[in-house]
Structures are given as C-alpha cells and as structure tokens.
Amino acid sequence: MKATRTTRHSLHGLDPALDRRAALKLFMTGVAATLASCGRPPEEVVPYVQMPERETPGLPLLFASALPLAGYGRGVIVTSVEGRPIKIEGNPRHPASLGSTDVYGEATVLSLYDPDRSKAPYSDNRTQSWSAFEAALRPRLDRHRAKQGEGLAVLTGRITSPSMLAQFESLKRSMPQMKRYRYEPIDDDAIRNGTKLAFGRLATALPRFTDARIVLTLDADPIGAGPEQIRYARQIADARRAQVPTNSLRLYSAEPDWSLTGALADHRVALRPELIRNLAIEVARGLGAPLEQATLPDEIRRFAAAATADIQARRGAALVMAGPRQPAEVHALCHWIDAQLQAPVDFIASVDPDAKSHNESLRTFVSDVRGGHVETLIILDANPLYNAPGSLGVGEAIRAVPFRAHFGGFRDETARHCTWHLPLTHALEHWSDIRAFDGTASIIQPLILPLYDSRDPHQILAMLEAEARSPTLDIIRNQWKSAVSEKGLADWWRQTLHDGVVANSAFEKISLPTAGLPSLAPVTAAEGFTLALASDPAVFDGGMANNAWLQECPKPFTSQVWGNALHVAESDARALGVRDGDVLQLRHGEATLEMPALISKGQAAGVLSTTLGYGRTDAGTIGTGIGVDVYPWRNADSPWLIDHVTITRAGHRAELLQTQHFFDLEGEAEQLQPRLTLADLVGGKFQVERPGGNPPTLYPPSHDDTYKWAMSIDASACIGCNACVVACQAENNIPVVGPDEIAMGRDMHWMRIDHYVVDARPGFSPTPCMHCEHAPCEPVCPVAASIHDSEGLNVQVYNRCVGTRFCESNCPYKVRRFNFAGYADGQEYGNLGEDIAKAVFNPNVSVRGRGVMEKCTYCVQRISVARRAAEREGRVIREGEVVTACQAACPTQAIHFGDMSDPHSRINALRADPRSYSLLGELGTRPRTTYLARLQNPNPDYGKART
Amino acid sequence: MPVAAAELDARLGTKDFHSRLTGGVSTPGIGRGLAAVRACMPHLFRPVADTAARSVLVAIVVVPLLAIGLAYWVSASEHVTGEEITLDQPVPFSHAHHVGGLGLDCRYCHTGVETSPVAGIPPTHTCMTCHSQLYTQTAMLAPIRKSLAEGHPIHWNKVNRLPAYVYFDHSIHVAKGIGCTTCHGDVANMPLMRQAAPLTMGWCLDCHRNPAAKMRPVSEVFDPHWKFPDDQAERGVILAHQYLDNKHLTDCSICHR
C-alpha cells in the first residue's frame, strides 16, 4: 500500500524528486553514453607457443579410439577441434561399430564436459590430495602384502581390457589372497549359465544374422540397447534388405513387453515371461525333443506352429535365441534347437574372463565382508550402492569395511559412503585398451589431457602394486609388445592407433560339444503380476543419468523423457481403471514402490514392465531425483523378473513427460506410414505416388545448375534406437530444455522419431525437416528468414528471424523448433551454462539465441565443407562425400543423403524405388526428404499349419 | 486598419474554406459578416507562421531521410566498422618491415591460409626461427622471448573481426583468386596492422554479387604489391569463368549456418 501511494504521489508531481531540467540532463547523458558505448568489446587471438604436430587451426583432427559400454568396447572416430573432442562417430573397421554409433557413444562428449564431474580426491568432508590418499593407503597395502594380500579386495565392473587384466594377474601373483569381485548391473548371467548347461563350459554365442533367413527371438532383444546393438542391428537390417521373400530375413518375436526387436518383427506375440519357456518347449517338440507338452494359449500355439514350420524348412539358416531375462535352461534349450537347425551361430571363449556370474560375485563379496575377510576395499569404476540388487545388502556390507576407497568419475551414491573418493579420468582422457564383445581389441587413446586432478584405472592398479610408476602409455605398449616383433612395434603401434582396431584380435571360433537337451518341464502361468525389468533405452544402467542429452532422449514407443514409468498392459489398465499418469503402488512381500503408470498396448496381460537406471540420489545436477529406482527391488536370484507383485492405485497422479504428442501430424497412421509386404511388392501392388500427383503451383522452379540435396529414409530399416537424434544434437549444438519446459510442450530436437501404430504394430519414422521444394514455411515469414538456397535447402537465417513463429504454424511436418528461452545461450538447463559445458559446442554451427526459430539444416556445415573442398580442387562433390550426422550415426544405414542432380547417384535410385513416398505428399510440398515404405515379410501360411 | 476580405482570404488561404462553407456560392451577406468579424478580431497567426508551416512540411519529409542517411553513415563509419583504426599490440609487429621490406611470403607465418578457414596467427616458435638469431636482445621482442621461455602464448589484439554467425573461409578465397591485399589492404606499408575494409555484409555482398571485379590470377594472390590492371573488367570476367564453379554466391547458406 505504502509503495503504491508513494508512486501516485510522485506521479502527480506533488513532490518532484527531479526537476525538468535535471531529468532532461540525465536523459541526454544516457543517450550520449549509449551512442558512445556501442562499440564491440575487444577480442584477442591467442596462437600456440609451439604448434602441435598435424594441427592446423580451424581444421578438425580425427582420432580412432574406443568407448566402453558395460565393459565392452565400441570403436569410434572422435572429432577434435583445437584440442577439444566434440563429436563421436563410428569406426567402420571396428566390428562392434561398423561405422555407426549408438546414443551412449554420441552422448559421451557431453559427459566429458559435465560440470558435476569429480575434480579432486575427497575424504572427511573435504577436498584432499592424491598424496594424502597414498599416505593413507600405503601402510595398509604393506600390511596386506605381508599377508599375501589377505584383507584386500577390489570391486570392479566388467573388465575386458587386456592390459588391466594383466595388471590384475600380476597383482594376484604378488598378493594371491587378494580378492577381486566384479558386478555389472546389466548382467548376462543367464546367457552365460545357459552355455555352461548346454556345453559344459563357458562360451559366448555370436549369431550371424546375415546368414539367417528365419530368426525366432524368445524375450530377446538383439537390436536393443547394449554393446552388441550396432552390429546386430546392421546384420538384421542387411538381411532384411533383400527384396525377394525367400531371401529376406523373417523375424518372429515372442516377448512380454515391447522391445525394438519386437517392433521390427514380422510376427510378434505378447507372452508372460515365464511362459516363454513353454513356447521354447513347444518349438523344441516340433523338432523332435522328447519333452512334456506345454500348455499355451491358442494364439501362441499358432505362432509356435508357424515359426516351427518355418525354421524347419530353413535348416542351416534358422536361428532361435533367448534373452537375458530368461533362465539358463531356456538358453540351453535354444542351444539345443540351434544345434538341430545347424543355425548360423559361432561360439567364442567368453571375452569376460571371470567365470563367476555377476550376482554370484556380489554375493561372495557380501559374505566375505560379513566373515571379516575384507579390511581394505577398492571400488574401481563401479556404483554398487546404487545398482546392486536390493536383496543382497551390499550397502551395509560396504559400510562395514573399515577402509573403502571409491574411484569413479562422479561423487555418486557409492562415493558418499566410502571413506575416500578419488576421481577417475574419462574414457576420452586416458590411454587404455578394451575388447569388443567378439574379442576384437582396440587401443583407447586420449583426446585431451585430464581436465581435473584425476587418474586412470591403470595408474590405480599400478598404485596398488606399488611398482615404480610408469606412464599408462608404457603399460599399454608393453602389454601389446608380445603381439609383434620388437622391430615392427613402432609401425604396428601407429597402424593400430590409426585403424582403431588391433588386427586379428577377435577371438577365434571354438568348437563345442553338441548341446545336450536340458531337462525342462513346462510351467503354468504365475499368479498375479510379474514385473519385468530392462535396461533403459536412454540412460542404460543409470551410470549416465547425469547426461542431459540422454535424459531428454525420447524413449522408443512412449516418447517419454526425463524419467521412467510403469508400463501396464491395456487390458490390465482397463480392469483396474488406470489411466496414463495414475500413480500405482507396487507391493512385493514387504517392499513397496510408487510409480506412474503408462498404458502399453500390446504388452502381455499380467506383466508390468519398467526400466532401470532412474531414481539416482547422487547423480549430479541433471540426473539426481529423476524417475524411480527399481534396483532395490531386484533379487540376485532373479534380477530381471519379479513375480507375485500386487498393484493398487496410490490415489494421486504424476505428470508423464512425453514428446510425441507435441508434434502429432494430422492424418491416418496408414497414410503417414504406409506398410507393405514383400509379397505386395513382388506383385507390384504399391503405388509410387499418391493419387493426384503434384498440384499446380506458383512457386518458382528449383535451380538446375547446381547440386540438389535430398534425403531418403528407409522406414523398414529404422529400428527406433535414437542414435540419429542424439547425433544431430551433438553435431548441431541443440540444447536441452529440461523437464519443466518439456511439460510446457517445448522441445528442441531437430530430428525426432515418430512411431505410428498400424494394425497394433508400431513402426518408427525418423522425421527431420523435409526441405520441401515448395515450403509452406517460406511465404509466411515476414522477414524472409525462412528461405530457399539454390541447392534446395530450406535455410533458416537466424539473424533475420524475429520470432513470429508463423513458419512453425504453417509447417505441416511440425519440424520447426522455437527458442522460447535462451536454452543454449544464457538460460541453459541445470548447470549446462557453465563454461566447461560450452566446450562441447561445434564451432561450425551457430549457437542460437532466444526468440529464434531453428530446424534441421541437412547439416549445411558438412555440405559447405565438402563444397569448399571440391571447389578448391576444381571438381564436383563426390557421391557419399557429404554424410549428415544422422546418416553417419544410423546403425542400420536407414538414412541416405545425396545429390539428385547427378543422374547416377544412389539417392535418385532410392527416390525411384517403388517403395518411395513423400510424407503428406498430397499437400504438394514436394519434400526433398522422402521415405521408403515399411516392408514386412510375414509368413503367408501363418495360422494355417496345425501341429 | 481594415483589410479587404478577398485579400485576407488570399493571404490566409481561407478562400477555399469560405467557399466550401457556402457550397461554392458567393453570398455577399455572409461575406460581409465575416469581414466584419475579421475586422474586429486580432490575427491568429503572424505572417511567419506560413514559413514555419512550410518548413515543418518539408522537415517531415527531409528529417527522416536525413536520419536514415545519418544512421547509414554512422553504421558505415569507422567508429562502427573499426576500419582504419590501429590497435596496440603486445609486440609492435610491423608488416611493413617483414612483408614490404624483407619480402616474407604471407604463408610463412599464416600457414593455414590455403587449407583452413582461418589463416592462423603464427606460434611463438615461428617468430623464433629468425629471432633466435636476430635482435636477440631487443626490448621490443621481450614478450616473444618470455612466451617461449614460459610456454605462455602471446595475446594479440584481433584486428579483423567478423561476427560469430559468419563462417568466412580463407582457403576458398585464395583458391579462387581473391588476393590477400584485396581485403587486408596495403599490408606491405602498414607498420602496425589495421583493418582496411569495413567488413560489413554489404561489403561482402558487393564482391559476392560481382566477384569478377576483384579476382586476380591465382599465382598473384600472395603478391602484396599487385595492382588491379586497367582492364580488370575484361580480365576479371575471364578469371571468373576460369575459377568459379559456384554461381550462387549470394545464398544465405554460403556464409551463415
């Protein structure tokens, strides 16, 4: 009140604080000051003191390296500009990359520059020095060494690095009583135990999908997130490319909830996880196994009959595989079936040399601690306090160890409960080596000096060994010395670093005894609900939860971001009266958990499913408190399936953050994503253009005297993995907006993956800007900020844009994104505005400010690089010279980009393909981005054959 | 002193008003009445009011034009473009001495100019190739020696500055016959470097619209003394035909991304 009265008072001029002259003087001073001060601030150029070898300022350098995921390596090529790694791409020479990447690889650069990274040793609630830690550790180590290592224990994740394993060997030699435990939350225990059951020894099965014509997956997701994803996705996509029905791979999939494999499959059934065993028995019986008949619903029986008939007909090219959630016996049975079928599967010795299962190892650890056998615990790059199964009591065990040192990239949950936390280097900061899941070794080379006072794992192990400290590079080189003669080492080393792969290091195939038929009795469906867990398609096991690109990466099927949800089958939801967003309370024995529900059509009734990796309490600014943590619910005996779960409605609702509905296109799914079968295609059923063709137009014709860029996206090959989405984000400086802005319907991804459900089958469609020749966004822009260039790109001129958003309203594809705030420039989410986080920016792309519209540019910066290179050399841009970020990332090579003006270019062949269609082509926008219709290869006899 | 109504009308321009009031018909009675009113009323406007009104009318047109002109002049002025302003540098490096006097090639120091978007400022080591032998004790070069000894780079003040949203590429320009001095001016006679061109978008576009006017043979690109010949118009067209593959140099995406 008082303030108001004062304001009115002075407004009426009763008590003028300023007289007219003084006000005018001040005004003119302001004007003069403004005029005088509008020069730009001075800038500096800072050259090197000595230019590094091969460096040319302004030009990127590429280095081959490898990045770990769950302990296995994926080969990468890292782009570095002036010493800053800014982009990850695949290494074509590496068998687990084949030139493509996945979301985790793409997002790694953001983690490198994460402001929350641990920066210094920490103990007693304060920052410490490494020497203080060594002083504390040394007397303990001496004591353990005197007792042959008794009382010393090391807990790690999966380790496949030959150098690190050799270091462990040598530690073991000097301290035979030292204990080593290893635990990886996304475990493969059942798979490994399956080979033990079937063959009597540990082995890894490597399916050759390229040689397969019929594949039956039993709750398996070979193309889902994981270290094998890229390779298997490429193989399956390649095997499905053949456009002759008998040569194209046909995929059968039975699973409790949706997986990427299930979405791609030609025939897919939903089945409770425990009944998968009955299906496997049914298939085995079809192949002559003397097993007891299992009860199965009719629909599943039809599926089993069709699949069995198909695989029998294609012996030698048929393959059956089970997933990590299925028990070892089902895996053993699959091995037996594969043996009967002479399936295209190779076996190698296990790349992870630890014979123990992950959960068994952890169990031993807990009992050793309880037995008082652990006095000094070294936790190396693992976070068991967050991701260990709740049933084991790992947290209490760790806290019971008197001296516990955690080495990790972040001060995470485990670090908080350790007496010491020591920062580890990032994979882009150190020398190391790593094996891929098939055994292929790569050298990891540092792209940048450690940003903080951190050390790499090799140095830690060397510290434990108390050996004279040699640089990590020497440790790695010494390890590989034996691979070549002394004389050739220098050349070998250079070549290996260049290739990113150690030549001929893949594990050799082993021959195994014929798989025995396991004794396997059918089961009856369990009572009540079963909770099926899975790794998360965005944050995997939760270790990368503090990565904002991954948190904001829309999950396949649900487009959910910033959190996980409990997927409930449609029939169960109807029975319980549950709607999307209703919070459900889960109960299993004593344990309870509250999670928001998300209805999942096509999920098996009686199955609840969700993903791991959320609910972190100490992930950092970005990841802490996002989603619900399900790890405590895991049981070491059955880590993936929790049965006898009851659910009740908690009575309140939670907001689910999903992105797809923001950009729903108008139209029927059948028209937006036409589907056809191979039989249709052979019969010539599919029409190239929609009826009506291109309507008349007043737009000027496009230029014919230069390149004409165009993109073709194969909807058959898209598996919905999101690699392109994150690759685009990394390449084009696309900011994250954060959960609050997402809740308001805002999102900045230039590339999105739409999913359309036709006949209850989802299909994915990557949707970048269509670069319409007759772009509806252009005539409505009052300032010509949305405009065509001569090469057919619909460009957005950020500096002209005044933010009317008319273009966004007029875009039928909804691909334009508006900076409602300075998401990248001044109003960043969380701590992404800190200086170090800006190091991730690509210097060849503008960082857009507030109030500006933006969208896919077809990676115009890459086109420009190629154009300038071609023009300098006086030639035209070659076919395949411009590769967009999304195209480079795609594991299945679903995206192709090229020049339409070259009559022999592949893009013209793709656009002339009978499957080619334009999205909303009837609008006459003449998009330069076209699609190849989703192709399926169903069994024509499905449902006819009876057993 | 009474004035004739018609005269007043002419002077004040009220004739039209008057006749519009009366529908164009002259009614002497009303006219007389008005004259009587005029006779007894003081003048509303002095004669100078006419001049003032005309001046205002002219000003309405001229002042905005002048303002726009002034704005253009200011925006193109050296105050805004930074043109012809010589900045202080940590070491007073003289292009006049090194290029004009000694005849060093541009590429000896600016090594990236043929391959990279940026020409590059030489590392301290490049300076020391000569100055480890020559003028090793001069005070002027102390910062160079200090930089080498301590491993700290020299912070030069940037002379030619472009906005962050412009992606200029040196390599393509020198490959297409745009000489260094065309944009950087008579470097061989600059004791201290200064910005020789306005570097405005209009200035860029002048050339992108008509590159032939500024092209020279590629062999002459690095010649600091090269002058445009009298028949540049004809020669330029030939060179443009010879070098230029891109006919769309004014596309937004050529410079902005």
Q: A343-366 pLDDT, tens per residue?
A: 999 999 999 999 899 999 999 999
Which percentage of chain B shows pLDDT scores above 90? 72
Asked whether A232 and A222 are in contact (CB, 8 A), the reply is yes
Q: Of A294, A327, A348, which residue constitutes the final position of a domain?
A: A348
The whole-number pLDDT of residue A670 equals 80
Domain residue spans in chain B?
Answer: 5-40, 48-75, 88-121+156-255
Question: What are the chain B neighbours of A37 within 8 Å (beta carbons)?
Answer: none
3-state DSSP assignment of residue B124: helix
Residue at A390 is within a domain: yes
pLDDT band at A674 (very low <50, low <70, confident <90, very high): confident
A31 CA to chain B: closest CA distance, Å?
A: 15
**Whole-number Å distance between alpha carbons of A25 and A269:** 81
Question: What are the chain A neighbours of B121 within 8 Å (beta carbons)?
Answer: 45, 47
In the numeric block, the tokens 């002479």 are attached to A342
pLDDT tens column, A428-463: 999 999 999 999 999 999 999 999 999 999 999 999
Question: What are the chain B neighbours of A48 within 8 Å (beta carbons)?
Answer: 123-125, 153
Taking the Cβ of residue A47 and every Cβ of chain B, the question of whether any pair is shorter than 8 Å is answered with yes
Between B124, B147, B253, which is nearest A795 by CB?
B253
In the numeric block, the tokens 């857009």 are attached to A848
Question: What are the chain A neighbours of B155 within 8 Å (beta carbons)?
Answer: 44-46
Give alpha helix (H) positions in B5-136: 5-12, 15-21, 28-40, 48-75, 78-81, 95, 106-109, 124-131
Question: What are the chain B neighbours of A32 within 8 Å (beta carbons)?
Answer: none
Between B153, B246, B257, which is nearest A871 by CB?
B246
3-state DSSP assignment of residue A180: strand
Q: What is the DSSP string of A367-434?
A: HHHHTT-EEEEEEES--HHHHS-GGG-HHHHHHHSSEEEEEESS--HHHHTSSEEEEBPPTTTS-EEE
Residue at A80 is within a domain: no
Q: Do A40 and B82 touch (CB under 8 A)?
A: yes
Write b or e for each residue in A865-889: b if 16 or more Cβ atoms lie within 10 A of its Cβ, otherwise e: bbbbbbbbeeebbeeebbbbbbbbb
Residue A60 has pLDDT above 90, yes or no: yes
pLDDT tens column, A294-344: 899 999 999 999 999 999 999 999 999 999 999 999 999 999 999 999 999
pLDDT band at B40 (very low <50, low <70, confident <90, very high): low
Based on the fold, state whether residues A375 and A464 are members of the same structural domain. Answer: yes
Question: What are the chain B neighbours of A47 within 8 Å (beta carbons)?
Answer: 120-124, 153-154, 156
Based on the fold, state whether residues A803 and A665 are members of the same structural domain. Answer: yes
The whole-number pLDDT of residue A11 equals 47
A476 CA to chain B: closest CA distance, Å?
A: 29
3-state DSSP assignment of residue A67: strand
Which percentage of chain A shows pLDDT scores above 90? 81
Based on the fold, state whether residues A790 and A930 are members of the same structural domain. Answer: yes
**Whole-number Å distance between alpha carbons of A516 and B218:** 76
Distances (CA, A) of A425 to A35, A164, A487: 50, 15, 32
A38 CA to chain B: closest CA distance, Å?
A: 8
Residue A116 has pLDDT above 50, yes or no: yes
Contacting B residues, span 214-233, partner chain A, CB-CB under 8 Å: none
Distances (CA, A) of A818 to A734, A737, A749, A750, A762: 11, 11, 10, 11, 29
Taking the Cβ of residue B167 and every Cβ of chain A, the question of whether any pair is shorter than 8 Å is answered with yes
Summarize the confidence of residues A752-763 as an average pLDDT. 89
Taking the Cβ of residue B17 and every Cβ of chain A, the question of whether any pair is shorter than 8 Å is answered with no
Per-residue three-class SS string for B176-198: CCCCHHHHHCCHHHCCCCECCCC
pLDDT band at A6 (very low <50, low <70, confident <90, very high): very low
Asked whether A341 and A319 are in contact (CB, 8 A), the reply is yes
Helices A457-465 and A130-146: crossing angle, nearest 10°?
50
Q: Do B257 and A42 touch (CB under 8 A)?
A: no
Between B122, B164, B169, which is nearest A47 by CB?
B122
Q: Do B120 and A39 touch (CB under 8 A)?
A: no
Two tokens at A802?
């005044």
The whole-number pLDDT of residue B33 equals 57
pLDDT band at A8 (very low <50, low <70, confident <90, very high): very low
The whole-number pLDDT of residue A546 equals 96
Structural domain of A8: 2-36
Taking the Cβ of residue A312 and every Cβ of chain B, the question of whether any pair is shorter than 8 Å is answered with no
**CA closest to B256 among chain A residues:** A797
**CA closest to A36 among chain B residues:** B79
Based on the fold, state whether residues A673 and A803 are members of the same structural domain. Answer: yes
Asked whether A791 and A706 are in contact (CB, 8 A), the reply is yes
Based on the fold, state whether residues A305 and A377 are members of the same structural domain. Answer: no
The pLDDT mean for chain A works out to: 92
Distances (CA, A) of A232 to A97, A207, A225, B126: 10, 8, 11, 51
Helices A358-370 and A189-199: crossing angle, nearest 10°?
110
Question: What are the chain B neighbours of A861 within 8 Å (beta carbons)?
Answer: 167, 257
Beta-sheet strand order (sheet of A709-714): A895-899, A709-714, A929-932, A916-917
How many domains are contained in chain A?
5
Based on the fold, state whether residues A869 and A722 are members of the same structural domain. Answer: yes
Question: What are the chain B neighbours of A870 within 8 Å (beta carbons)?
Answer: 245
Between A706, A857, A863, which is nearest B247 by CB?
A706
Q: Do you know the residue count of chain B?
A: 257
Based on the fold, state whether residues A905 and A842 are members of the same structural domain. Answer: yes
A695 CA to chain B: closest CA distance, Å?
A: 28
Residue at A558 is within a domain: yes
Which residues, listed in sequence order, are joined to residue A444 by a DSSP beta bridge?
Answer: A432
Which residues, listed in sequence order, are joined to residue A935 by a DSSP beta bridge?
Answer: A676
Based on the fold, state whether residues A344 and A358 are members of the same structural domain. Answer: no
Q: Do B253 and A845 touch (CB under 8 A)?
A: no
The whole-number pLDDT of residue A663 equals 61
The 8 Å CB, 24+ separation contacts for A55-60 are: A55/A82, A56/B111, A56/B112, A56/B115, A56/B116, A56/B120, A57/A82, A57/B112, A57/B116, A57/B118, A57/B120, A58/B112, A58/B116, A58/B117, A58/B118, A58/B120, A59/B112, A59/B115, A59/B116, A59/B117
Summarize the confidence of residues A414-424 as an average pLDDT. 96
**Whole-number Å distance between alpha carbons of A719 and A891:** 9
Asked whether A130 and A121 are in contact (CB, 8 A), the reply is yes
Calculated CA dihedral for residues A85, A91, A95, A100, nearest 10 degrees: 90
A863 CA to chain B: closest CA distance, Å?
A: 10
3-state DSSP assignment of residue A61: strand
**CA closest to A847 among chain B residues:** B165
Distances (CA, A) of A596 to A533, A560, A921: 15, 12, 39
pLDDT tens column, B203-250: 999 999 999 999 999 999 999 999 999 999 999 999 999 999 888 999
Q: Do B257 and A864 touch (CB under 8 A)?
A: yes
Asked whether A332 and A194 are in contact (CB, 8 A), the reply is yes
Which residues, listed in sequence order, are joined to residue A755 by a DSSP beta bridge?
Answer: A764
Write b or e for each residue in A789-799: b if 16 or more Cβ atoms lie within 10 A of its Cβ, otherwise e: bbbbbbbbbbe
Residue at A491 is within a domain: no
3-state DSSP assignment of residue A482: coil
Based on the fold, state whether residues A638 and A673 are members of the same structural domain. Answer: no
Nearest CA to B256 out of A358, A852, A518 is that of: A852
Asked whether A351 and A507 are in contact (CB, 8 A), the reply is yes
Q: Do B120 and A868 touch (CB under 8 A)?
A: no
Based on the fold, state whether residues A458 and A546 are members of the same structural domain. Answer: no
Q: Do A43 and B152 touch (CB under 8 A)?
A: no
pLDDT tens column, A504-526: 999 999 999 999 899 888 898 88
pLDDT band at A469 (very low <50, low <70, confident <90, very high): confident
Taking the Cβ of residue A705 and every Cβ of chain B, the question of whether any pair is shorter than 8 Å is answered with yes
**Whole-number Å distance between alpha carbons of A214 and A307:** 8
Asked whether A101 and A79 are in contact (CB, 8 A), the reply is no
pLDDT tens column, B48-105: 999 999 999 999 999 999 999 999 888 888 878 888 888 899 999 999 999 999 999 9
A901 CA to chain B: closest CA distance, Å?
A: 15
Nearest CA to A692 out of A922, A896, A387 is that of: A922
Residue A410 has pLDDT above 70, yes or no: yes
Taking the Cβ of residue A872 and every Cβ of chain B, the question of whether any pair is shorter than 8 Å is answered with yes
What ipTM did this prediction achieve?
0.88
Taking the Cβ of residue A797 and every Cβ of chain B, the question of whether any pair is shorter than 8 Å is answered with yes
Based on the fold, state whether residues A268 and A344 are members of the same structural domain. Answer: yes
Residue at A509 is within a domain: no
Q: Do B252 and A845 touch (CB under 8 A)?
A: no
A832 CA to chain B: closest CA distance, Å?
A: 21
**Beta strands A916-917 and A929-932: pairing type?**
antiparallel
Based on the fold, state whether residues A772 and A845 are members of the same structural domain. Answer: yes
**CA closest to B254 among chain A residues:** A864
**Whole-number Å distance between alpha carbons of A198 and A301:** 26
Q: Do B111 and A56 touch (CB under 8 A)?
A: yes
3-state DSSP assignment of residue A650: strand
Which residues, listed in sequence order, are joined to residue B202 by a DSSP beta bridge?
Answer: none
